[in-house]
Structure 1
Amino acid sequence: MERSEFEPGQYVRHPQRPDWGLGQVQSAIGHRVTVNFEHAGKILLDTSVVMLEPTEPD
C-alpha cells in the first residue's frame, strides 16, 4: 500500500473550490484521498491533479 502525504483526520482546503469550505481527510492511499467537505460532502480526489492545502480548523 502506497503512503500518502495526507492522514485521516487532517484538515484541508481545495484551492480551486473555496465554496466547498473546510474539509477533513477520511482516508488516504497514495494519490487517492477522500475528503469530507463542509458544503460539498464526501469527495474522492487525486492529489496528483489537485493540490490540497493543509490547514487548521476554523
Structure 2
Amino acid sequence: MNEILEPGMLVRNPKAPDWGVGQVQSRIGDKITVNFEHVGKQVIDGRRVELSLVIEG
C-alpha cells in the first residue's frame, strides 16, 4: 500500500496508533516522511511498516 502514497494523503501507523493521523510529506523509495498529530514529523521505513490510508467521508 505504501507505494501509492503521495504528499497530502492522510495515514495512520498501525504499529503506533497513539501517534494519531499523519499527513504524508514525501515518499522517496521506501522512505516516507509523515507529519503526525501527536509526535510530529517522522521518517518511516516502508519496508518495515505498512501505513494505513485514512479515508475521510
- Deviation string, structure 1 residues 1-47 (Cα, Å, up to 9, x no partner): xxx42100000000011100000000111110000000010000011
In the alignment, the residues of structure 2 paired with residue 57 and residue 37 of structure 1 have an alpha-carbon distance, to the nearest angstrom, of 16
Relative to its length, the structure with more helix (as a share) is: 2
User: What residue ranges of structure 2 are gaps of 5+ in the alignment?
Assistant: none
State whether residues 22 and 57 of structure 1, in contact with CA within 8 Å, keep that contact through their aligned partners in structure 2.
Answer: no
| In 1, Cα distance between equivalents of 2:22 and 2:56 | 9
Using the size of structure 1 for normalisation, the TM-score is 0.86
* Alignment RMSD: 1.5
Q: Percent identity?
A: 51
